[in-house]
Amino acid sequence: MPKISDWGLSKVISDSTSTTTTTSFTPYYAAPEQVSNKVKDERTDIWQLGVILYELVTGALPFTGDSMIEIGMNIATKDPRLPADINPGAAQIESVILKCLKKDPAERYQSVLDLQKALGLLLRKNYAEQFTMSVSTNDFRRSAFYCGDLVMINLLTGDIATAYKYLSDLTTYAEGDVKADAMELSEQIRNRMEYGIAEIPDELIQKAEIIVHKVSLHFRK
């Protein structure tokens, strides 16, 4: 049974920073407001991300049909099968997915940032547990891997202090040039914290992404 860390949710978080609502769509991913030709906004993107998340954890689409009309009717009128009924391991994220797939846009996450934060909190708890376990078993390459993801999750959800904590851990468990890169980024973030600057500029986010990519490559060797 896949763990949350196997579902690629951190990629969904990092790749969903901009909205993508358009008037054209694949029927399976259409939101109810698209089916009924009502006003579309960022909450339409939330629905479509919910469909992607549903697929990630179940391997199935939430709404299907033998024709575009039947697909549209199911989207507009039926509730999806509970993800945990298909994959019991999906129980951990089921509430997030179902909130994305609310028929009424007012009941969904109201922005991509809100969804990112919800996913970030879910991933942070799971990855922190995996990190602690890896340290206890002296699997330090795995420790570095989880540290990297925890750094990115906390940066993307705006928790700079926790991101700094895991960067400090990464300097302990990483090797080679990754250790040096992590130390440099850790110093830059520490300086911002000392001056009370909570916002993380894109250049530091990009630097963190490069570090995490290097850690991931090393872990998968």
Domain ranges of the chain: 4-113, 138-220
Q: What is the pLDDT of residues 65-87, one digit of tens each?
A: 999 999 999 999 999 999 999 99
Best CA proximity match to 116, nearest among 66, 75, 165, 152: 152
Please give the Cα distance from 35 to 46 (Å, whole number).
15
The second-level CATH assignment, the architecture, of 4-113 is Orthogonal Bundle (1.10)
Average of per-residue pLDDT values in the chain: 88
Residue 4 confidence (pLDDT) = 52
Query: pLDDT-based confidence at 22, cuts 50/70/90?
Result: very low
pLDDT over 60 (residue 18): no
Q: What is the pLDDT of residues 145-154, one digit of tens each?
A: 999 999 998 9
Q: What is the pLDDT of residues 159-182, one digit of tens each?
A: 999 999 999 999 999 988 999 999
DSSP 27: G
pLDDT over 70 (residue 157): yes
Q: What is the pLDDT of residues 32-58, one digit of tens each?
A: 999 998 989 999 999 999 999 999 999
